[in-house]
Structure 1
Amino acid sequence: MRLPRIAPMLATPGVLPPAAQDDRWAYETKHDGQRAVIYLPGDGSVVLRARSGEDITAAYPELGALGGALGETPAILDGEVLVLDEQGRGDFQLLQSRMGLARSPAKAAQRAARTPAHLVLFDVMRLRDDLTSLPYVRRRRALEGLALSGPFWSTPTALVGHGDLALRATSESGLEGLVCKRLDSVYESGVRSRAWIKIRNVRAVDVIVGGWVPGRGRLSGLPGAVLVGMRDAGRLRYAGSVGTGWSEAERAELAGLLRAAETDTCPFDGVPPVSGARWVSPRLVGEVRYSTFTRAGLLRQPSWLRLRPDLAPEDSAADFP
């Protein structure tokens, strides 16, 4: 059967629904992976398409067996491809070694043997017939009725109500966040909808500023980004570049502090490979928001929160994880 293309429905960043509406929403774990729409024509084959529409099937050969999971029943499913860490959580750094291999099947097979992917399923848009006009609660019931659980795929449960507890649980478990889905919501193909709300667990950490990169255009003469580090056994280890989070006034204030602290010597243990970097004496402490640390020890998705003039680098900034 030739299946129609369906672009994935997208969630809007936001906060938990009001407590009075809590029981009208379902809550699912937000995973750190690659979004995929899964096409099962009912002939034993499977096609995975990324959010862009690109065919990524060959990048994940271990998911090929899913093609026969529903027999001759044609279906279109929505999910996320993960590579799990030792704690069973999606690790985007591990996943990156699997992405982009759709045109290299031999290499994809080698990587699959070392770092197998896992597909998390969370919606069904077609099951013989089009289901996109049905409310989420009915699509979810249909998905769970398929009992799709295998060596490389699963259908995690969704919690109805208790959003505050669900969000707290994802944070305490070190998971990326939560997706809130209104029970009566239809599947809006290709739309970033308010009927789906994504909440990312954010973390904050104190860092030491060791350099900066000048901005361009309207930011000429101002910092486009600051280079930050954290202590590691008495050394200052580079932890990444932070380029967002300032107001105009804050950026101007920071520019003055950076110019006053300029030095010709890189303060980091090992010079970071950053083009156009200017170094400063490591005496400024700032607080940044971030999602997680990469396996290389760099802050992922960092954003500036504030200067911490109350903290001294030698005794108050956080240690390297």
Structure 2
Amino acid sequence: MTLPLIPPMLATPGALPPAAQDARWAYETKQDGQRVVAYLAGDGSVLLRARSGEDITAAYPELGPLGPVLGATPAVLDGEILALDAEGRASFQLLQGRMGLAHSPALAARRAARVPVHVVLFDVLHLGTDSLLALPYVRRRERLEALGLDGPYWSTPRAIVGHGAKALAATREHGLEGLVCKRLDSVYEPGVRSRAWIKIRNMVSEDVVVGGWLPGRGRLTGLPGAVLVGQYGGGRLRCVGSVGTGWSEAERSELAGLLAALATDVCPFDPVPAARGAHWVLPRLVGEVRYSVRTRAGMLRQPSWLRLRPDLAPEESAARLPDDDTPV
């Protein structure tokens, strides 16, 4: 049969539901991977589509055996493709080396041998001849778990009903990306960013030193579009990423004046980051940023500016950074 094309339902950023409503929600671990909708046609094949609708099947050859696991029963499954590090945690940095290879099957196969992926399946949208979109989450979850989808490269993660505060605390304790809260009575809304699903990302804040900036474009022409930030480790200022969000227009204009006063021709970072068009500044400005996790190279993922820290000296912004000389 021809399966319907179903764009994935999206979660809205937010906070935990009120304690009085806790029992009306299920809680799933938020994974740091690539969203995927898997189409099992019932003939042994599997088609993987990214959130954009792009066919990414060839990028993940190790997921091919998922196709025949339900026999002749067609299904559409919602999930997330992960690359796991040595501690079994999802690493987006590892996954990046596997993404974008749908048009290079040979390269995808070689990388699959070195860094295999794992897909966690958390929803079933179509089963047999029936659409399950109008069923409440709790019923879809029952149907999904009854399928027993646990294999070498795929699994069905556990969902917890109630106990949201404890679930969120557990994700923080184990260094996981966050939590997704799903209302038990919610239907599946294809392509919609719904309040029936709430995502909570665990964020960390740290102090960083501004060492450069990148020009803005469009409405930000003439202003800094992003600042390059670093932290001291091993006696040198190591670049840990670029920050482009978190300022109002007035704050960005004020920042532009501060950066202009500190302009220099010498890059303060060691090693020099690959940042075409960067303008360097003396490393005097300290700011506080919020981010989700660090990559293995020490880079900040999804950083956002919080505030300037004029009360701190640049040397106080130290962090545990990699000891090697790998450019970051």
TM category (shorter chain) comes to over 0.9
Partner of 1:282: 283
Is this contact kept in 2: 1:205–1:318, CA < 8 A? no
Partner of 2:30: 30
The more displaced of 217-226 and 300-309 is: 217-226
User: How many angstroms apart in 2 are the aligned matches of 1:243 and 1:63?
Assistant: 36
- Name the SS for the 1:85 alignment partner: coil
Partner of 1:301: 302
Partner of 2:192: 191
- Name the SS for the 1:151 alignment partner: coil
User: How many angstroms apart in 2 are the aligned matches of 1:131 and 1:221?
Assistant: 51
User: How many angstroms apart in 2 are the aligned matches of 1:246 and 1:90?
Assistant: 30
User: How many angstroms apart in 2 are the aligned matches of 1:222 and 1:116?
Assistant: 42
Structure 1 residues 3, 287: closer, same or farther in 2, change over 3 A?
A: same
User: How many angstroms apart in 2 are the aligned matches of 1:190 and 1:283?
Assistant: 45
- Name the SS for the 2:121 alignment partner: strand
Output the amino acid matched with 2:141. Answer: R
1:95 aligns with 2:92: no
Partner of 1:148: 149
The more displaced of 299-308 and 269-278 is: 269-278
Structure 2: 5+ residue runs without aligned partners? Answer: 322-328
Query: Offset of 1:45 from its aligned partner?
Result: 1.3
When the two chains are superposed, the root-mean-square deviation of aligned CA atoms in Å is 1.4
Partner of 1:172: 173
User: How many angstroms apart in 2 are the aligned matches of 1:291 and 1:152?
Assistant: 26
Partner of 2:325: none
Partner of 2:211: 210
Is this contact kept in 2: 1:61–1:109, CA < 8 A? yes
Output the amino acid matched with 2:22. Answer: D
User: How many angstroms apart in 1 are the aligned matches of 2:115 and 2:281?
Assistant: 40
Query: Offset of 1:144 from its aligned partner?
Result: 0.6
- Name the SS for the 2:172 alignment partner: helix
Partner of 2:326: none
User: How many angstroms apart in 2 are the aligned matches of 1:106 and 1:222?
Assistant: 44
Structure 1 residues 310, 179: closer, same or farther in 2, change over 3 A?
A: same
The more displaced of 211-220 and 260-269 is: 211-220
Query: Offset of 1:81 from its aligned partner?
Result: 0.6
Query: Offset of 1:82 from its aligned partner?
Result: 0.6
User: How many angstroms apart in 1 are the aligned matches of 2:236 and 2:307?
Assistant: 23
Partner of 2:85: 85
Deviations 1:228-280 (A, max 9, x none): 11112100111111111112332233223222222222111122222332222
Partner of 2:228: 227
Deviations 1:71-122 (A, max 9, x none): 1111111111111111111111111111111122221111111100101000
Partner of 2:112: 112
Output the amino acid matched with 1:28. Answer: E
Output the amino acid matched with 1:259. Answer: A
Query: Offset of 1:320 from its aligned partner?
Result: 4.1
Is this contact kept in 2: 1:237–1:320, CA < 8 A? no
User: How many angstroms apart in 1 are the aligned matches of 2:297 and 2:79?
Assistant: 27
Identity of aligned residues (%): 75
Is this contact kept in 2: 1:264–1:279, CA < 8 A? yes
Partner of 2:41: 41
Structure 1 residues 217, 72: closer, same or farther in 2, change over 3 A?
A: closer
1:18 aligns with 2:27: no
User: How many angstroms apart in 2 are the aligned matches of 1:217 and 1:154?
Assistant: 44
Query: Offset of 1:198 from its aligned partner?
Result: 0.9
User: How many angstroms apart in 1 are the aligned matches of 2:199 and 2:284?
Assistant: 37
Query: Offset of 1:218 from its aligned partner?
Result: 4.4
Per the normalisation by structure 2, the TM-score is 0.94
- Name the SS for the 1:300 alignment partner: coil
Query: Offset of 1:216 from its aligned partner?
Result: 4.1
Structure 1 residues 260, 186: closer, same or farther in 2, change over 3 A?
A: same
The more displaced of 242-251 and 160-169 is: 242-251
Per the normalisation by structure 1, the TM-score is 0.95
Is this contact kept in 2: 1:36–1:81, CA < 8 A? yes
